[in-house]
């Protein structure tokens, strides 16, 4: 760069001229006082940093503590006052990011762990002990390939709060699912009749049922009116189902009479029910908190307008896109980041299309679950899904195709701050000659 006029000249490789890579690297990084590669860990972090345009590389290790991170940043700012610094690391959230995001002078460039692994494999395949450390490789990537990296910009407090709450809620749901599977497997060993006494074994009705009648011997001694009153007390008043369950109790026989199996099974079931009840309580608290923050979010009107995006999926879809309208420059880039768009691999004359294996699973899972839920609320979504199925796709593949289409629609509404309107969307499809409105009309007339 010429300081006198602020212009820069970059020679494109395809024109065939000789390229000065060192000069280009310097021009790309000259507005940073320091470039830093940071390899984080639970207890310590390895750092490699250098001044752009200089050969000297500095390395050090710091402990994972707010004080040590603050001291390191203070030292950097003391050496280069009133400057900006670029830091490359393998995460976009966590204790290190939480500590560094408070410094306005630091720009963060997070890497996908697979990118780091592939970079090392491509340029240092030997695995020798004298190969560069991960921190040094990140510094190298930052220095030479920063123009291909995305600057991380934190979302608003409202959006980040929603994302953390939604992700943590999902972890609790997964934990509960694991305990429910253990409970189901345990009951099959000595008390399979219990599994037919409720539609949802994670419900309070089932937990209370199991605590009241913890084995088949006690259940078989219960009077029918007592069992019926129990269901009524928990607002289960389907008399047909209650009659079926009473008939099952009357006609069933115990699976086994081994006291060792029954006693140990009862104790395990009691422990699992206690954990499931606690998880149910905590998940309900998360739901209440998420609902409050979702309804007060500036983008609530946009994301609550999508069919099937209720109080659970609405906030999850919102955090997939965030608040920064400049984050994605197209619907395709949004789909790529979220992990919804398929990957096409070619080798010779063969072509293979598959699901993205390396993706932010919570985000892609959120969009897929939303697409599945939209089938019951959107006519065109169901028609599109059925068309994919008729072409030989599996259920999951058809749902992913629908999710990919939804991303393009959501992106446009999100970008324009405009709620979704199915009538307008169908009219737009009709104007563009799409087959979907015609098929929807046929379904509505059938």
CATH code assigned at 208: 1.10.287
pLDDT tens per residue, range 49-96 = 999 888 899 998 888 888 888 899 999 899 998 899 999 988 766 778
Domain shared by 252 and 321, yes or no: no
CATH code assigned at 128: 3.30.420.40
Residue 6 lies in a domain: no
Give the residue from 295, 324, 339 where a domain finishes.
295
Domain shared by 119 and 86, yes or no: yes
Residue 77 lies in a domain: yes
Domain shared by 180 and 212, yes or no: yes
How many independent structural domains does the chain possess? 3
Domain shared by 328 and 427, yes or no: yes
Residue 155 lies in a domain: no
Domain shared by 164 and 287, yes or no: yes
What does each of the 446 residues of the chain score in pLDDT, given as a tens digit?
Answer: 333 333 333 333 333 343 344 444 445 556 899 999 998 877 788 899 999 888 899 998 888 888 888 899 999 899 998 899 999 988 766 778 878 887 888 999 988 777 777 888 877 776 654 556 888 989 988 888 888 888 888 889 999 999 999 999 999 999 999 999 999 999 999 999 999 999 999 999 999 999 999 999 999 999 999 999 999 999 999 999 999 999 999 999 999 999 999 999 999 999 999 999 999 999 999 999 999 999 999 999 999 999 999 999 999 999 999 998 888 889 998 888 888 876 555 555 555 444 444 557 888 899 999 999 999 999 999 999 999 999 999 999 999 999 999 999 999 999 999 999 999 999 999 999 999 988 888 777 55
Residue 419 lies in a domain: yes
Give the residue from 275, 295, 315 where a domain finishes.
295
Q: Which residue has the tokens 């799409």?
A: 434
Cα distance between residue 33 and residue 25, in whole Å? 14
Domain shared by 43 and 134, yes or no: yes
Tokens for 307, please give them: 């069919």
Torsion angle defined by CA atoms of residues 274, 280, 282 and 288, in that order, rounded to the nearest 10 degrees:
-160
Residue 355 lies in a domain: yes
Domain shared by 52 and 113, yes or no: yes
Domain shared by 119 and 195, yes or no: no
Tokens for 333, please give them: 């880039």
The answer to whether the beta carbons of residues 375 and 385 sit under 8 Å apart is: yes
Give the residue from 267, 295, 323 where a domain finishes.
295
* pTM, rounded to two decimals: 0.78
pLDDT tens per residue, range 281-292 = 999 999 999 999
Domain shared by 342 and 220, yes or no: no
Domain shared by 166 and 89, yes or no: no
Decide: residue 287, CB within 10 A, 0-12 exposed, 13-18 middle, 19+ buried: middle
Residue 154 lies in a domain: no
Structural domain for 311, as ranges: 300-445
Domain shared by 92 and 194, yes or no: no
Residue 5 lies in a domain: no
Domain shared by 310 and 276, yes or no: no
Tokens for 419, please give them: 């709620």
Residue 176 lies in a domain: yes
Cα distance between residue 121 and residue 135, in whole Å? 15
């Amino acid at each position: 760069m010429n300081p006198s006029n602020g212009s820069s000249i970059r020679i494109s490789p395809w024109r065939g001229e000789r390229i000065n890579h060192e000069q280009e690297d310097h021009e790309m990084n000259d507005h940073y006082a320091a470039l830093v590669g940071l390899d984080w860990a639970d207890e310590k972090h390895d750092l490699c940093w250098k001044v752009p345009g200089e050969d000297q590389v500095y390395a050090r290790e710091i402990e994972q503590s707010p004080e040590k991170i603050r001291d390191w940043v203070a030292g950097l700012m003391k050496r280069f006052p009133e400057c900006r610094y670029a830091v490359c690391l393998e995460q976009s959230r966590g204790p290190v990011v939480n500590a560094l995001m408070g410094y306005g002078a630091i720009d963060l460039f997070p890497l996908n762990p697979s990118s780091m692994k592939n970079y090392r494999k491509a340029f240092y395949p030997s695995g020798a002990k004298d190969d560069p450390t991960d921190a040094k490789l990140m510094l190298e990537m930052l220095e030479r390939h920063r123009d291909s990296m995305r600057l991380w910009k934190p979302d608003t407090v409202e959006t980040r709060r929603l994302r953390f709450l939604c992700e943590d809620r999902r972890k609790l749901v997964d934990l509960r699912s694991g305990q429910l599977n253990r409970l189901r497997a345990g009951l099959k060993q000595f008390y399979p009749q219990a599994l037919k006494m409720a539609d949802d074994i994670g419900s309070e009705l089932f937990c209370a049922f199991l605590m009241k009648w913890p084995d088949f011997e006690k259940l078989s001694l219960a009077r029918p009116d007592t069992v019926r009153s129990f269901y009524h007390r928990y607002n289960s008043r389907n008399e047909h189902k209650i009659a079926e369950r009473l008939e099952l109790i009357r006609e069933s026989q115990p699976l086994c009479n081994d006291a060792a199996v029954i006693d140990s099974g009862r104790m395990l079931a009691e422990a699992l029910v206690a954990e499931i009840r606690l998880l149910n309580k905590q998940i309900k608290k998360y739901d209440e908190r998420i609902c409050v923050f979702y309804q007060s979010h500036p983008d609530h009107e946009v994301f609550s307008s999508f069919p099937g995006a209720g109080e659970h999926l609405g906030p999850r879809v919102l955090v997939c896109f965030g608040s920064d309208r400049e984050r994605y420059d197209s619907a395709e880039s949004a789909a790529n980041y979220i992990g919804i768009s398929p990957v096409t691999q070619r080798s010779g004359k063969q072509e293979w299309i598959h699901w993205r294996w390396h993706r932010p699973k919570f985000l892609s899972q959120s969009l897929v679950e939303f697409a599945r839920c939209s089938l019951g609320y959107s006519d065109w979504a169901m028609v599109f899904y059925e068309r994919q199925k008729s072409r030989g796709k599996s259920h999951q593949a058809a749902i992913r195709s629908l999710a990919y289409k939804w991303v393009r629609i959501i992106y446009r509404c999100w970008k324009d701050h405009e709620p979704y309107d199915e009538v307008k969307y169908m009219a737009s499809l009709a104007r563009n000659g799409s087959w979907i409105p015609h098929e929807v009309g046929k379904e509505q007339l059938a």
